[in-house]
Amino acid sequence: MTGETDLGKMLASLQPTLREGEYVFCTMENGRYGDHPELEPIASFLEAEGLTLVIPQTRADQHGIAYEGVFRCITLSVHSSLDAVGLTAVVATQLAAHNISANVIAAFYHDHVFVPAPRADAALAALQALGTARP
């Protein structure tokens, strides 16, 4: 199934959904993919400085792993194409207008927006408002 590329259609079918749980970003110096499965990462990215993992906050606390912020994940339910133009910009702009930071991870089917946990409900409402907006 091919993802959507039309920005207007993506916004009309955005359907943001707040995922259960709270997450943190942490880094593992000299880490490699597959390291630390006990942390149950939902995302990872290998950077020059180390392996970044997005893990449940509870796992970080259980294992004494340092982190700087706690986030909630909002999944944009629209199946956006990896070639789509503008969706991330519109989402980030909408959240910035409400003074909410956005850390976006694009996966194959959906985009996932990590927002500060205390602002998750406000972020969800702001993104739901995009469902009737047009670019």
Q: Give the pLDDT score at 98.
A: 96
DSSP annotation of 15 reads: -
- Domain-by-domain residue ranges, the chain? 1-21+73-135, 23-69
Which residues 6+ apart lie within 8 Å of 29 measured at CB? 49, 50
How many whole angstroms separate alpha carbon 50 and alpha carbon 69?
A: 18
Which residues 6+ apart lie within 8 Å of 45 measured at CB? 51, 52
Q: What is the pTM of this model?
A: 0.88
Chain mean pLDDT for the chain: 87
At the fourth CATH level, the homologous superfamily of domain 1-21+73-135 is VC0802-like (3.30.2130.10)
Q: Give the pLDDT score at 21.
A: 97
Closest to 58 in 3D by CA, of 79, 78, 35, 42: 42
Segment-wise mean pLDDT, segments of 10 residues, the chain, 135 residues: 68 84 93 82 92 96 95 88 75 94 90 96 93 56
Q: Give the pLDDT score at 135.
A: 46
